[in-house]
C-alpha cells in the first residue's frame, strides 16, 4: 500500500498541532483508497499519534476528550508569559541568569529549586540571549523538526543578498538563524531591516516578542496564537514606507511539498491582500530553500520559480557542509521567483555568470550546446544523452530496458506512478537516484 497526501481539508479535526491533513491510503488491487486524517507536523507517530478515518464517526465523549488533550498539550507558558519572564530575566545580574538545558528554558531564581538536578548553564550573557539558536540545542529528529542550522557563511551570504536586493523586511519561515542574524544587524545603528520569525519551535518565544515571533505550523498554515498572531503577520507583510518584503523559508525535507506549497500560497495571498497598488500581477518575492531533487515538484506548484546553483551549507548536518573543505557537497539550493540574473553568487567560491542562461552557475556547471542551458544540478559536470534528449549525471548511463538514463546498478522494474521525490516514473521513492 501507498500513502498520498490530499492536503488541508475544510472541517478537518485538530490535534495539538492544528488542523490535521487529509491523506489517502491505497492498497494494491483496490481502485479507491481509504482516506484518513493525520497530524500535519509530525510524520513520526511517536511525536503525535493523531489518526482518524475520514468516514469515522467520533462520539461526543471522544471529541471532548480530544479537546481536553489538545489543551493539555500546549506549552506550559504562553508567549505573553514568556515575554514577561524575559523582561525579568534581563534585569537579573549575570550570576543569577540560568538556563536549564534539560527543559530548554530560561530560569528565574524562584524556579531554580525545581531544576536542581537538571543540567543548567550559568551566567547567560546578553550576547547568548541574542543568539538563541546557539543556546538551544537543535531539534534534529528527522521526521518532525529536522532543525538544521545555516553555517555562518551561508547565513551571511543570504543576508547580504537580501540587503543588496533592497529588501527591508524578511518573513523568516522556519529560519531562526537568519532571523537572529537580522535582529542583531538591526540593533546596530543606522540599519533598518526587520524580520518576523514563523516557526513551530515554541522555545523561541522565550527570546522574542509577539512582533518578532509567531508560533506557526507551515504544513497547515496554522497560527497557534490565533487571530492576533495572524494579524501581526498581516501587518508585517504590509509594505509601509516602501519597505519591500521577501519571504525566506527552509522547511524540513519530508515529502509534504504540496502541504508546504499550499501554506506558502496562503502567505502569498496574505501579502497580496495588503492591497498595495502594483501588487496586481505580482507574487510576494520568496526564497524557498530545498534540495535540488525537489525541483520538479516545486515548479509544479510555483511555475514562476527557478533554482539557483548556490549550495546552502549547514552547521549540524554532517552531509550538507561546504564542498570546498573536502566534504560532500550540499544538495540544498535556493528556489526563487525573482529574476535569476539578480541573484549574484560569490565568484570567490567559484560561481560564474553564464551570459546565455543569464544567471550565476557553479564552476563545474558547463553550458550544454544541445540543451542550450547550464544543466548540472549538483555542481558536477553533467553529460548529454542523445536518447534522453537531456543532460544527466556523470555517473548515469542509458538503460535500453528502462528507456532512460539511470544508475548502472538498478533493477529494470517499472512503476506507473511517479517517484515521490523527483516525480519521475520508473522507480519508487526508496530507489530514487536523486537520493543516492
**At its nearest, how many Å lie between ligand SAH and the CB of residue 144?**
6
- Residue 126, C-alpha cell as written in the block: 546578553
When asked if residue 136 is in the footprint of Zn ion (CB under 5 A), the reply is no
Instruction: Out of 16, 18, 252, 331, point to the residue binding ligand SAH (CB under 6 A).
Output: 252
When asked if residue 149 is in the footprint of ligand SAH (CB under 6 A), the reply is yes
Nearest C-alpha neighbor of 149 from the set 166, 136, 167? 136
Partner in contact with 150, chosen from ligand SAH, Zn ion, none, beta carbon below 5 to 8 Å by kind: ligand SAH
**At its nearest, how many Å lie between ligand SAH and the CB of residue 224?**
10
**At its nearest, how many Å lie between ligand SAH and the CB of residue 293?**
18
Residue 286: other Cβ atoms inside 10 A = 24
| C-beta of 116 vs 127, nearer to Zn ion | 116
CA distance 21 to 434: 27
Residues paired with residue 359 on neighbouring β-strands, in sequence order: 354
**At its nearest, how many Å lie between ligand SAH and the CB of residue 148?**
5
Instruction: Out of 217, 262, 362, 434, point to the residue binding ligand SAH (CB under 6 A).
Output: 217
When asked if residue 412 is in the footprint of Zn ion (CB under 5 A), the reply is no
Half-sphere exposure of 409 (CA within 13 A, CB side): 2
When asked if residue 374 is in the footprint of Zn ion (CB under 5 A), the reply is yes
When asked if residue 311 is in the footprint of ligand SAH (CB under 6 A), the reply is no
When asked if residue 175 is in the footprint of ligand SAH (CB under 6 A), the reply is yes
When asked if residue 148 is in the footprint of ligand SAH (CB under 6 A), the reply is yes
Edge-to-edge order in the sheet of strand 34-38: 2-8, 21-26, 34-38, 51-53
Residues 6 or more apart whose Cβ sits within 8 Å of residue 134: 128
**At its nearest, how many Å lie between ligand SAH and the CB of residue 136?**
10
CA distance 182 to 192: 10
Stretch touching Zn ion by CB under 5 A, among 185-193, 286-294, 321-329, 356-364: 356-364
| C-beta of 13 vs 364, nearer to ligand SAH | 13
Own/partner contacts of 192-195, CB < 8 Å, gap of 24 or more, are: 192/168, 192/243, 193/162, 193/163, 193/167, 193/168, 193/169, 194/168, 194/169, 194/170, 194/236, 194/243, 195/169, 195/170, 195/171
When asked if residue 177 is in the footprint of ligand SAH (CB under 6 A), the reply is yes
Instruction: Give the pairing type, strands 245-249 and 169-173.
Output: parallel
Please list every residue from 109 through 128 that binds Zn ion, using CB under 5 A: 115, 118
Partner in contact with 384, chosen from Zn ion, ligand SAH, none, beta carbon below 5 to 8 Å by kind: Zn ion
Residues near Zn ion, by CB under 5 A: 100, 102-103, 115, 118, 354, 356-357, 367-368, 370-371, 374, 384-385, 387-388, 391, 398, 405
Amino acid at each position: 500500500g501507498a500513502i498520498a497526501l490530499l492536503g488541508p481539508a475544510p472541517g478537518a479535526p485538530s490535534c495539538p498541532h492544528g488542523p490535521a491533513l487529509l491523506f489517502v491510503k491505497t492498497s494494491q488491487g483496490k481502485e479507491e483508497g481509504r482516506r484518513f486524517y493525520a497530524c500535519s507536523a509530525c510524520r513520526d507517530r511517536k511525536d503525535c499519534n493523531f489518526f482518524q478515518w475520514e468516514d469515522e464517526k467520533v462520539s461526543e465523549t471522544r471529541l471532548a476528550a480530544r479537546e481536553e488533550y489538545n489543551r493539555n498539550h500546549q506549552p506550559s507558558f504562553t508567549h505573553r508569559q514568556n515575554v514577561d519572564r524575559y523582561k525579568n530575566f534581563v534585569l537579573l545580574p549575570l550570576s543569577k541568569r540560568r538556563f536549564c538545558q534539560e527543559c530548554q528554558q530560561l530560569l528565574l531564581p524562584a524556579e531554580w529549586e525545581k531544576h536542581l538536578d537538571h543540567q543548567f548553564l550559568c551566567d547567560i550573557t546578553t550576547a547568548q540571549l541574542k543568539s538563541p539558536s546557539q543556546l538551544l540545542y537543535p531539534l534534529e529528529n528527522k521526521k518532525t523538526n529536522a532543525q538544521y542550522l545555516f553555517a555562518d557563511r551561508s547565513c551571511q551570504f543570504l543576508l547580504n543578498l537580501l540587503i543588496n536586493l533592497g529588501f527591508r523586511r524578511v518573513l523568516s519561515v522556519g529560519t531562526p538563524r537568519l532571523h537572529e542574524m537580522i535582529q542583531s544587524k538591526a540593533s546596530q545603528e543606522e540599519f533598518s531591516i526587520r524580520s518576523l520569525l514563523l516557526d513551530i519551535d515554541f522555545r523561541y518565544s522565550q527570546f522574542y516578542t509577539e512582533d518578532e515571533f509567531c508560533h506557526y505550523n507551515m504544513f497547515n498554515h496554522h497560527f497557534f496564537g490565533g487571530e492576533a498572531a495572524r494579524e501581526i503577520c498581516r501587518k508585517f507583510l504590509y509594505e509601509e514606507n516602501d519597505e519591500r518584503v521577501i519571504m525566506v523559508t527552509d522547511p524540513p525535507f519530508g515529502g509534504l511539498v504540496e502541504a508546504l506549497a499550499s501554506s506558502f500560497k496562503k502567505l502569498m495571498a496574505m501579502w497580496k491582500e495588503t492591497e498595495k497598488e502594483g501588487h496586481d500581477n505580482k507574487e510576494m518575492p520568496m526564497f524557498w530553500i530545498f534540495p535540488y531533487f525537489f525541483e520538479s515538484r516545486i515548479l509544479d506548484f510555483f511555475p514562476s520559480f527557478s533554482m539557483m546553483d548556490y549550495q546552502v551549507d549547514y552547521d549540524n548536518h554532517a552531509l550538507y557542509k561546504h564542498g570546498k573543505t573536502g566534504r560532500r557537497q550540499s544538495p540544498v539550493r535556493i528556489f526563487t521567483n525573482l529574476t535569476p540574473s539578480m541573484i549574484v553568487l560569490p565568484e570567490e567560491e567559484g560561481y560564474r555568470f553564464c551570459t546565455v542562461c543569464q544567471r550565476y552557475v557553479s564552476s563545474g556547471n558547463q553550458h550544454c550546446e544541445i540543451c542550450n542551458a547550464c544543466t548540472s544540478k549538483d555542481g558536477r559536470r553533467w553529460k548529454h544523452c542523445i536518447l534522453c534528449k537531456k543532460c544527466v549525471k556523470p555517473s548515469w548511463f542509458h538503460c535500453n530496458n528502462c528507456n532512460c538514463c539511470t544508475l548502472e546498478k538498478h533493477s529494470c522494474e517499472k512503476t506507473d506512478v511517479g517517484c515521490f521525490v523527483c516525480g519521475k516514473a520508473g522507480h519508487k521513492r526508496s530507489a530514487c537516484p536523486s537520493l543516492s
